[in-house]
Amino acid sequence: MENMNDLKNKIKDLGLETVYPFRSHFLQLGENNLNYVDEGEGQPILMLHGNPTWSFYYRNLIQTFKSKFRTVVPDHIGCGFSDKPQDYAYTLENHIQNTYKLIRFLDLKNIILIVHDWGGAIGFGLVTRYPELFDKIVILNTAAYPSSHIPQRINLLRQGKFGEWLTRKLNLFAWPATFMTTTKPLPKMIKEGYLLPYNSWDNRVAVARFVQDIPMEKEHPTYKTLSEIEEKLKSLHHPKLILWGGKDFCFNHHFFEKWVNIFPDADAHWFSEAGHYVLEDAQDEVSLKIWDFIK
């Protein structure tokens, strides 16, 4: 398994320093190092990524907002430049706890939260438990509640050793995400950036575990955690902005409508020509909406 320095060197080799020039910081969590970006000063913006992305997904937002805000973007354990232990419990609960420890370590308060994909469940896990720490919330193509709506191709990857073999050996999650999540083809260098931390069986461990942690049955250990989050969503009174890629094959119109129903007072925008990686397909429009929301 490659270490962080090897991956950092590949950033240079691929010329990715021009788009991801950020210094790594680390928080020791037991035996594992959590990597995070910490750029700028001022009110903190905490950006939480999903699967199979990493802090690289937010690279443009970091560049945009670091002049006026403190942008903090962790790589969840198993992702990006964080450690990738093979015998770790990659559960929603542990990702919530890890992020809370980072918030405490950095003494973040009055946080503007931006979430995408699994980052939604992790982020709302935090907001529903510690609402006093947060100021505003930006929601990008995500969910934070149990749902029976799952594409068959993703459900297949949840299935035991066979699904894990497809995800880790054949790379049939991180690799397809480089062309199935956008309507505009990603440049070759950006595709390489997304795949960089997930270049081997060992390094794809969290990619597989995130898929396996999708709770489709009530007996699933994460179902209870996610249900408890859903129960508290309507109690949140923070200002909210929903920015949605309309051509998302996974988090489709059903999920957008559910968020609007949960948060009817949210400022909601539907980008009809953007995919799941809404920050790639509609970067300028999304950035402007966030500026207007938080300025």
Contacts of 285 (CB under 8 A, 6+ apart): 271
pLDDT value at position 2? Answer: 59
pLDDT value at position 10? Answer: 82
Structurally, the chain folds into a number of domains equal to 1
The conformation of residue 256, written as its DSSP 8-state character, comes to: H
Write b or e for each residue in 133-154: b if 16 or more Cβ atoms lie within 10 A of its Cβ, otherwise e: bbebbbbbbbbbbbbeeeeeee
When the pLDDT of each residue in the chain is averaged and rounded to a whole number, the result is 95
Phi, psi of 66 (to 5 degrees): -70, -15
Stronger pLDDT, 111 or 154, i.e. the higher one: 111
Average pLDDT over residues 150-170: 88
What CATH code is carried by the domain that includes residue 186?
3.40.50.1820
Average pLDDT over residues 79-107: 98
Work out the pLDDT band at 14, boundaries 50, 70, 90.
confident
Is it the case that residue 17 has pLDDT exceeding 80?
yes
- What is the extent of the structural domain holding 164? 4-294
User: CB atoms < 10 A from the CB of 63, how many?
Assistant: 17
Lowest mean pLDDT among 4-13, 199-208, 209-218, 219-228: 4-13
- Percent of the chain beyond pLDDT 70? 99
**Strands in 143-271 per DSSP E:** 240-245, 267-271
The residue whose two tokens read 């991180």 is: 174
Is it the case that residue 66 has pLDDT exceeding 80?
yes
Is it the case that residue 3 has pLDDT exceeding 80?
no
